[in-house]
Amino acid sequence: MNVIVNDQGFSPEDWTDGFVTLDDAANDVVAFDVSSDTDPDELIDRLGSAQMVRVDFPSSADGRGFTIARVLRLKGYTGRLRAKGHVLADQYAMARRSGFDEVEIDHSLAARQPEDQWLARANWQENNYQARLRG
């Protein structure tokens, strides 16, 4: 099992309903597993009553998942959003600001970037560069 990162630190997986890809989706999907190249405008039309969307980050240099999260939030999605894969501790604040509720990482990344590194970025709301510039 992977490690879930949220503002309180590392926690075990608590989602038990599984995930379905867009290609395999039928009616009443509870949670979607989407790739970073998914069009968020098409995704929002297919979400229905889905309680969670998990967005894959194939590389820490691939920021398309942040755009997916932001667009879903701007279009009114209120369910859980989870970033999965190669998200670094340094990117945690960006993930939260763009709309993700949590990040799912594997145990090897958790070992390289321990919980204290993620918690150092958990105060993402207090350190907002753009808000400081606006005054």
Provide the number of structural domains found in the chain: 1
**Residue 73 in domain:** yes
Q: Which residues contact 39 (CB under 8 A, 6 or more apart)?
A: none
**Residue 119 in domain:** no
Better pLDDT: 123 or 53 = 53
**Residue 31 in domain:** yes
**Residue 133 in domain:** no
The phi-psi region of residue 106 (left if phi > 0; otherwise alpha if psi is between -120 and 50; otherwise beta) is: beta
> Do residues 92 and 122 touch, judged by C-beta distance below 8 A?
yes
Buried b (16+ CB within 10 A) or exposed e, 106-121: eeebbeebebeebbeb
**Residue 45 in domain:** yes
**Residue 15 in domain:** no
**Residue 95 in domain:** yes
Distance CA 60, CA 91 (A): 8
Domain that holds residue 68: 1-7+22-104
65-115 tens-digit pLDDT: 999 999 999 999 999 999 999 999 999 999 999 999 999 999 999 999 999
